[in-house]
Amino acid sequence: MACGMKSNENILEQALDLQKQHGWVTPEDVKEIAAAKGIPVSKAYETLSFYSMILLKKPADVRVEVCRGTSCYIAEGTDLLDELRRITGCNVGERSDDGKYQVEYCECLGRCDTAPNIVVNGKLHTAVTKESLSEIL
């Protein structure tokens, strides 16, 4: 019997490699992964959708990840999220109508001492304030 966990690790590695190349995992990439693993495309989607770091949709121009770890959550307060919403037009979990902004939560970034922290297009920003947010974006 094949080990499901090992199989998922292989799928994840291949998906991350393809994501590095294309910026996201395209439908063609998913078909390639499914073919390589000998599984249905639907099963590949099901497996990949489990991992939050895998982007199965083309990311917006500006992808904002808001840390929802305890330290950042407490430090953020509602002002920062309100300002983020005002600038981007998005609540967390949404994408702006023009496709420019995408706002998501992420898990603890390991920099709790500088909370609140956000990541914009892969770059960490620490001790973010309502004022610095507009400069960052």
Which residues form the interface with ligand FES (CB under 6 A)?
A: 67, 69-72, 108-112, 115, 117
Q: Which amino acid is at 90?
A: C
| Dist. CA 52–CA 54, nearest whole Å | 5
Q: Which is nearer to ligand FES, 35 or 74 (CB)?
A: 74
Q: Which is nearer to ligand FES, 108 or 120 (CB)?
A: 108
Q: Which is nearer to ligand FES, 70 or 134 (CB)?
A: 70
Minimum Å gap between C-beta 72 and ligand FES is 3
What secondary structure letter does DSSP report for 114? G
Q: Please state, in angstroms and as integers, the Cα–Cα distance from residue 55 to each residue in 43, 69, 79, 82, following that order.
A: 16, 21, 28, 25
Dihedral of alpha carbons 109, 76, 64, 106, sign = positive
Q: Which is nearer to ligand FES, 111 or 125 (CB)?
A: 111
Maximum pairwise Cα distance, the chain: 56
Nearest residue (beta carbon) to ligand FES: 69
Minimum Å gap between C-beta 51 and ligand FES is 20
| Dist. CA 75–CA 34, nearest whole Å | 42
H or E element that contains 124: strand 123-125
Minimum Å gap between C-beta 112 and ligand FES is 3
Minimum Å gap between C-beta 76 and ligand FES is 9
